[in-house]
Chains A and B, each alone.
Chain A
């Protein structure tokens, strides 16, 4: 066998969540990515977020496309169904699964090659349909599995390992998601768990397509001097507009936001995404200003992070389609089949 089950080690003093599950219960198989890969930090952040929210693993589906990032669903939530689809097509599979069973909690893991090149179309349409999925893009600006080609998110001026300079424009998934009518667009850094874990939780609570672009450096092919997706560059150039936190319904009732430093975003389930403003002028509910903010920082070669746009009122795919509240998979055959009398009646018009 060439895959490895990660042993579940139990020890005294392990903390349990509301379901009595430990962090270990949210882990998956052993990662086969390079040591130091940003994606492994993202995996750890996902594990933490699901544990914190005490989500039953079997309620979750984790989907991906092809690439290093797309391998990662095997490394978390071994109690959830996973699907590693074809390159760039994770969104369509997630769309079908959520149409069939809207109660599933969907996590899509993609990369810059998977979502911004081969799968740019599917990314765009998942966003515009407001598919209820947590859509993580582990963005490293490079094709890792095929050994170091530039990706569509490589910045102009960024250098490949062998010195070649990228001159094509970069696609920014956050700006793209906003212009495509997205309802939730955020950016973070794999090296900043403090910011990332709450953002993932906010994305899970958000009813709709929660896109989080996570700068996740490739230690093997894109972590050198001259790269704009390296650990060093990202640390030096990132600027957080805000810090998000998800407050559950029970606590949200008690919260007060009188100081003006915190922006509360109320969700339908009663929970609140609290945004602590780091840039006092930033308003993540204003689409035009969000784009302007992104653009001015891009020009200054700064990487803006945080929850950069949110509209929690947008209808989701299932709202638009008018799908029943009960998952379609739970209807009995008799509720779907009109029966012989109806068929006979219909055919009266065919004579």
Chain B
């Protein structure tokens, strides 16, 4: 879990110090190599021991459109966006006005002063409440590098150099990173470091360095890693023993399968004969991807598909089929902004209801709700166990923010004693001893029948059908026989409730009637908001949902509070709706706190919403 790393440097009176507590936002044009400059910057802060997270706010485009990267450094270990910008690096003339307006009062704007601009010369639209720093980045790059492509790349590296000087970021750490990155290309180390020095020296000569907003070495990153959720989920699939992956490329899930393939090549290819202990199939569409996953699981492999909202829509018929025919399957839904194509490179938590009830007829599916890459890893492993134990589709609902951004989390660990739970599968020996095998008989009373795998034993043969079937596996149109099976599926649903990860409750140290519920990528913002509310005298208990179906602890939390804020990133309060449907809570008790513009939820907005509501209620 990514609980805030509290460090000794955070004394009570020093809470507002900008040292190791700031947001740098870099506005660039995509396709100009700014991604490497930004990750260099972020990793340098990390290596200095400062907790960091990076949010890539990118367009659905390959080259030429505005893109931003936000780095949050927090000595307290907060990892959400705040809604504030302390240092803006405005490298994109297209978005300059907007970027200028976004700088928080007292903050800094760094721009490329190679060309005099209207706002810089007439002072008309220059903000008086912030500091503006011009550095001729393009000029420095043009004078020292060619050809044109290199100049563009080096201009971006140069702003990292300027920030090193201005914000006291360790240049030796940056150099070390360059040496690692370009270990086999020494020339690139030299040129990149030259660009760093150009920006660095210019800043040192022309400005008083460092600024009050700055970095100082600390020890807040020991035992931590920087990782994207999709990367962690791919590792989870690898470690869970998944052998078949079927997918159709879709942002923001693609990097999950890319990572899985890289890891499989590394760990599952037999060098002596080139044989792969995995099979990845790029399907013709998401319908086929779902069918392949179901077919592979039916045949006894652990199989999964990564997708996003539109894919879930396309897979829905198959999802209902797997539910009713009781075939395990693991679906990763890396949520993005909908409806329809929506904004594919922006984040939301908007497939909650679509996934929970995916398909026609009476269907309900377990959802796992990771809040960070650590849980992407752990829940990926767990998802395969749950799917096989429960013989049903299981969803891991991540999102673009978790999946594609750089998160700082404790190093992932693995217990070598772990053995997967393959669920109730009868092998050839067990079948041999059976008089007759019936596929859908609930002999254990937990709603979960026994299954057999193709190829094992003639006695295990049965016919999977999405049409009406009785507990023996035979076709039926008899109402009672039909009902017996779907009622048993409800018993299985009860079992699922006992199996999935429980919600995590954190009570404040005071009696309160206020509760807050959140899940997934909203977690970080809520943790920080609760601290700020506490500073302002508002105390609230917190419940982080980690799965559906909800356990008893969710009902207890709802019962324990008069007002429960449900914080989530969609327009319609989907989790609020799910709570209303699946618990005994009353409408009046649940207050939605919503954020759905596609940017990861900022903690300031959560604080504000809850505070406003509480104050208003207090007056009333």
Contact = CB atoms under 8 A, between A and B. Distances in A.
A258 interface: no
Nearest to A350: B225
A61 B241 CA distance: 24
B420 to A, nearest CB: 6
Nearest to A61: B454
B243 A331 contact: yes
Nearest to B469: A3
Nearest to A4: B474
A328 B277 contact: yes
Contact of A343 (B287, B288, B414): B414
Interface in A316-331: 317-318, 321-325, 327-329, 331
B204 to A, nearest CB: 29
B464 A82 contact: yes
B55 to A, nearest CB: 18
Contacts of A347: 225, 227, 411-412
Given A85-B321, A121-B285, A337-B239, A343 B412 contact: yes
A342 interface: yes
Interface size class of A (residues with CB under 8 A): 35 or more
A3 B416 contact: no
B278 interface: yes
B241 A96 contact: no
B46 interface: yes
A343 B239 contact: yes
A93 interface: yes
Contacts of B16: none
B506 interface: no
Interface string A87-98: 001011111111
Contacts of A325: 275
A2 B475 contact: yes
A100 interface: yes
Nearest to B418: A337
A9 interface: no
Contacts of A324: 270, 275-277
A101 B300 contact: yes
A281 interface: no
Interface in B190-228: 221, 224-227
Given A1-B481, A336-B241, A351-B46, A92 B288 contact: yes
Contact of A97 (B317, B454, B462, B467): B454
A325 B274 CA distance: 11
A97 B299 contact: yes
Nearest to B239: A337
A146 interface: no
A3 B243 contact: no
Contacts of A94: 295
Interface in B489-543: none
A97 B279 contact: no
B233 to A, nearest CB: 14
B476 to A, nearest CB: 5
Contact of B416 (A1, A95, A339): A339
B455 A2 contact: no
Nearest to A81: B454
A17 B82 CA distance: 75
A81 B465 contact: no
A328 B413 contact: no
A74 interface: yes
B461 interface: yes
B455 A103 contact: yes
Given A86-B466, A343-B239, A92 B287 contact: yes
A296 to B, nearest CB: 32
B294 A82 contact: no
A333 interface: yes
Q: Which of A2, A74, A97, A122 has the most CB of B within 10 A?
A: A97
Nearest to B47: A351
B244 interface: yes
B243 A328 contact: yes
Nearest to B240: A337
Contact of B303 (A96, A124, A323): A96
Given A2-B476, A100-B244, A328-B244, A92 B283 contact: yes
A340 B455 contact: no
A325 B270 CA distance: 11
B225 A351 contact: yes
A100 B288 contact: no
Q: Which of B225, B277, B279, B298 has the most CB of A within 10 A?
A: B279
Contacts of A337: 238-239, 241, 418
A51 B391 CA distance: 34
Contacts of A104: 299, 454-455
Given A97-B299, A99-B244, A342-B267, A85 B225 contact: no
B276 to A, nearest CB: 5
Contacts of B414: 339-340, 343
B312 to A, nearest CB: 16
A84 B294 contact: no
A87 to B, nearest CB: 8
B174 to A, nearest CB: 15
A322 B261 CA distance: 13
A329 B300 contact: yes
A58 interface: yes
B394 interface: no
A85 B465 CA distance: 7
Interface string B280-296: 11011101111111111
B235 A343 contact: yes
Contact of B280 (A98, A321, A338): A321
A79 interface: yes
Contacts of A236: none
A340 B292 CA distance: 30
A95 B288 contact: yes
Contacts of B285: 121
A170 to B, nearest CB: 23
B456 interface: yes
A93 B415 contact: no
B476 A1 contact: yes
Interface string B328-362: 00000000000000000000000000000000000
A329 B291 CA distance: 18
A99 B246 CA distance: 10
Contacts of A328: 243-244, 277-279, 301
Contacts of B465: 83-84
B309 interface: no
A259 interface: no
A340 B276 contact: no
B122 interface: no
Interface in B423-459: 452-458
A125 interface: yes
A80 B543 CA distance: 49
A73 B287 contact: no
B184 interface: no
Contacts of A83: 295, 298, 463-465
A121 B288 contact: yes
Interface in A272-331: 317-318, 321-325, 327-329, 331
A338 B288 contact: no
A57 interface: yes
A344 interface: yes
A79 B431 CA distance: 13
B299 A329 contact: yes
A1 to B, nearest CB: 6
Given A85-B318, A336-B241, 11 more contacts: A61-B454, A83-B298, A85-B291, A96-B281, A96-B296, A96-B303, A99-B292, A324-B275, A335-B277, A350-B226, A350-B227
18 contacts: A74-B463, A81-B461, A82-B462, A82-B463, A85-B291, A85-B294, A86-B291, A92-B290, A96-B281, A101-B299, A104-B299, A121-B284, A321-B279, A328-B301, A329-B301, A329-B455, A344-B411, A346-B235
Instruction: Please provide the 5 A-B residue pairs with the shortest distance between their CB atoms, ordered closest to farther.
Output: A96-B295, A92-B291, A100-B301, A96-B292, A96-B296
